[in-house]
Structure formats: structure tokens, C-alpha cells
A and B are shown apart, each in its own frame.
Chain A
């Protein structure tokens, strides 16, 4: 063996030994293909009764305060939409500031400072629909995250790891329900997490607690005695954008075809 050749081989050998085997483990195939653990005792679900909602927006106010979402920034984890159907067959929808201050006028907010007044005698039907994260069983926002910063907890809530999020915005684009946004302060993806800090302590979410009319309820789908579970199992409830296959876990009473 020549000296040059010996040095070369020695260098390769040393490099090979230095590289620990563990560094090569990017994924563990066994874990990777592990199925979902069905032994979970908790699966958080939400129930919205649109008949009861009056559009006061106290839920939005409470949510922003509880979850430290800058109050005057035009972003919110939950919001309330207004739908007004007129007798000429048209429908109008708005959610000024996410209904943070409720709906205090019959004028529909068209955006850019324009409003459309609708006379009460022209209205055929009108109602309010609270929206929030659907905590999907198949969350597309989690699938598209390239760094594992957003994930589904064992009890079904989708969380965002602020220290790991790189702010690429794929999840914001991926969510069919438009519930995600950038947090104005942390510049990371932000979304409703069913007030995870509250529900895991046995409290109701801030919006559920703030709602004076019982339009919002949270429950555990794995508990057959839970009143919310009972309603979902025995009454007629709808979900949003079923055709996307995301299996949303926010159920609605009194959904209309124009609500998406």
C-alpha cells in the first residue's frame, strides 16, 4: 500500500467511525407507520347552535383577551358571521372585525368602508354563525407543515409550536376553513386551540363561558354521557365542507346551504 493510499483510506475510515449511527435515524419506520391509538379517553368536540346565537360577539371579545390576540389587530381565533337572505333571492354575509364588537347595525359591511343597508321588510331569513377551528380528524394544515411545528394532540386538538414554526404559511393556505393567521406579535402561525390551557384544567373555553345564550358548547366525544356527545349522536347536526374529507369536529345545529 502506498502512503497516499493509506492516508486516504484512514481518513475515510475515521470519518465513518465518527458518524454515529443514531445520526442516520431520520425516521423510525415502526413509529412512522404506527396507527392511531384508539384507546384515547378524550376527544374534544364542539357544538354550535346557530338558532341561539344573537351575534353579540362576546365570545370573540373573550377569546381575544384570553388568548392574547392583539385586540385591535384585524385577526381573531374565532369570529361570528352574519347571513342575510333577501326576498329577491340574494344573500349577504359579513363579519366586521370578526364581530369583536357584535352586530349593532342592520347595514352589511361590504369592506373598504362601504355598507349596504337592508330594510327589515326585505329580509327573508337572517342568522348568525360562529366559526372557529374545526380541530379536524384529518387536519390538512398539519399534513403540509414541513417542520412538525403543528400537530394533533392525542385528545384531538391541533396545536402550534411557536418555538418551532418557521412562518412559511403553508398551513394558513392549507386550511379550507381559513381559521389560521399569523400572530402579529410572534409572527408564527396562530389558530384556535379550544383554549387548550382551560379544557385540560376542567374549565370551559373562554368563548363557551362568555356566551350568554348557550350557543357554544364543548364536549368529550369519547364520553357517552357527555351532553354534547348525546346531542351529536342523537340530533341532526351538520359540519362544514364535508366534501374536503377533513372530518371536522365542530358540529352545527341549524346550518344553511350558503354557510361554508
Chain B
């Protein structure tokens, strides 16, 4: 629990036509090689936001190694469901599967629980778009907007003030961006500190479409909301 309250903030907002997820990356620095996160078939840059199944995106806060293990388990559970039932796993069922695993580690001695909280943003035909949160004890609950990690109290109260029940994905992206910029420790935002993802319905196929933004796309989004890091050199020149 302690590790989670220090972990990078992960924020989720449920909209009428989709779900939005954003996360603050903690592991950064000039010398960190980020080239891998720019390329690749996009399942995420591999720190905070992961594609768990074609209809569910997960955001993690806590011990990274534990989180990787849980993400792996979630992906297996989702594929197992696909094998047995030939359908995408319902979002709540996936959350339940992980919570059953997490709960097990609170019951028996000698083993350490997973130090991870997760947000699940997903879609299924039963309850349409959904947002769930699970903690290390194996408790889970559904939310309209919620936040885990550092400063989650501040973010939560900001969300409570600004959230409206008929919010669209477009507005939700704005809400998430504004809330993120206020809660994050750093004053300026950039793609090296932020991960971002949305889950919507494909207008043609009506199938869920998960989009985890690439670093370049995150920068475009930040510029759109005027939260991007100002080019310091440019400022110096004009001064």
C-alpha cells in the first residue's frame, strides 16, 4: 500500500462513448533509452498502461515487477476466456479473476501480496463501457472517474468537482489532461512523463477499439490542450 501511494498517478474517466486512461511515468531521465517505446505494434510503452485484451486497457500503480506479473496473468486469463467461450472476456470478470489471485496472497502465510493497484478501462456488450479499480487486498469496485497512485486524493476531489454524467470522450480527454497537469509534481508535461490511452467503439464495426497513444501522439495532444513543455531555447532567443 505504501508503494502505491508513492507510485506514478494513474487516472481514469468513464464517458458515455468511451473510457480515458492517463498515467504519470516516474522512471525518466536524460540517459534513459526511450527508443523502444516509440516503435513497435502498440501494446503500450511498457511502464504504466498495458493492453490486457482487445477490449480492456489496464493502468498500474505500485511495484513494477509485481505489475508485470499481473498483466501477464490478466492477458492469459483473457485468452483462456476467448478459448472457452469465443468472446472477449467481460470487463468485470477479468477484474474478478485478478482479484481472486490477489486475495489468495492475503490469506496464506509466507507469501507477499502483490503491491499493485490497477485500473481497468473496458467494454463489453453486457454493461457497455466500464471503469474498475482493484487494490492489493483483492477488493474491486466500479467508478465513473477515479485515480490511484501519488496525489490520488487531490485528483479525486478535482474529478468530483468537474465530472458530469453525460461527459463525452472528447471532454473526458480534456478533463483528464487538466487534472493530470494539476496533480503531477512536475510543472511541465511531456510525452516522457505521460502515458495516455482511450477505449472507444469503432464507428463501422461497432467493436471496441483500444488506442494507447505513442509518445509523438501524446505530444500532439498536450499541444492541443496547451499544456506542452515550452521550448526553453526558443524562449531564451526571444528574450
Query: Does chain A bind chain B?
Result: no
Q: Which residues of A does B touch, CB under 8 Å?
A: none
Q: Which residues of B does A touch, CB under 8 Å?
A: none
